[in-house]
Amino acid sequence: MSETISEVKRGNRGEVGLGTPGSRLKSLWHRYNKNARKTGGKVSTLKVFLREIKDNPDVKAWKANKAGKNNQKRTEANARRARDEGNATRLSRKKSK
């Protein structure tokens, strides 16, 4: 059997995704501040920077994610189970007479 193994060059990690809106905004902010330092401009905080580019779709997506857009909702059965477990734990801590 003659198998040829294609060797991957060191450092090649293949295709990398876009990342989250937050990570894209933070990298953009870092690049902005790096250029501002080079040119002697004003370095801004992340909050101020995001206010300046508030029309960017990533800013809107990041704010929606922070507000809990992608949080999973508990099903009624799961909430009931958690409530019953909490009650059982509470009852087990009580001292019996």
For residue 10, is pLDDT > 80?
Answer: no
Amino acid sitting at position 25: L
Residue whose structure tokens are 């009931």: 80
**What's residue 69's pLDDT?**
87
More confident: 67 or 97: 67
Quick one: DSSP state of residue 8?
P
Please count the residues of the chain: 97
Domain residue ranges of the chain, discontinuous segments joined by +: 20-69
Residue 93: CA count within 13 A, CB half-sphere: 6
Q: Is the pLDDT of residue 14 over 70?
A: no
More confident position, 37 or 95? 37
- pLDDT more than 70, % of the chain: 81
pLDDT for 41 equals 87
Q: Which residue has the higher pLDDT, 5 or 56?
A: 56
